[in-house]
Structure 1
Amino acid sequence: MTGKGCSSNSVLQARWVVEQLRVEASMKRIKISIAVAQLVQYCQEHSRSDPLLTGIATSANPFKDKKTCMLL
């Protein structure tokens, strides 16, 4: 009985893999150069609101230390 259980499981798994590959093959893809151009354009348009580029105001930074540490 265990042989049949394993074979039906592997058949179901193979069917799932085939279906997944069909879905991936039918996806519309764009060229890398177009994707890169769109990504650069998006980054340039949103650079003013990017905290990694502009920084965070000290009053709005929840992670700022409340006290400074001094070593003597």
Structure 2
Amino acid sequence: ASGMCSSNSVVQTQKLVDQLRVEAGMERIKISLTAADLVHYCQEHRRSDPLITGIAASSNPFKDKKTCVLL
């Protein structure tokens, strides 16, 4: 049984090494370029961003329809 465990461990380690080789060989994008792209995208779309411009009460499905009245 110990031979089986050892063989299984070798197979798992080989799979890990193969995965790490694939990851190491991937072409990476510089984080500064990606961040600049993200900033540019946000600036281009800020007029249609509801987190910046807000949502009109009439088109907000989560807005309460009734007002609360305190007696």
TM over 0.5: yes
- Give yes or no for the alignment of 1:4 onto 2:3: yes
Counterpart Cα distance in 2 of 1:5 and 1:59:
67
- What is the aligned partner in structure 2 of residue 38 from structure 1? 37
Partner amino acid, structure 1, of 2:20: L
Q: 1:7 to 1:68 in 2, by over 3 A?
A: farther
- What is the aligned partner in structure 1 of residue 50 from structure 2? 51
Cα shift at 1:43 = 0.8
Gaps (5+ residues) in structure 2?
A: none
Q: 1:54 to 1:11 in 2, by over 3 A?
A: same
Counterpart Cα distance in 2 of 1:50 and 1:41:
14
What SS does structure 2 have at the residue aligned with 1:30?
coil
Count of residues in correspondence between the two structures:
71
Counterpart Cα distance in 2 of 1:66 and 1:8:
66
Partner amino acid, structure 2, of 1:58: A
Counterpart Cα distance in 2 of 1:56 and 1:26:
45
Q: Percent identity?
A: 69
Q: TM-score, normalized by length of structure 2?
A: 0.76
Gaps (5+ residues) in structure 1?
A: none
Q: TM-score, normalized by length of structure 1?
A: 0.75
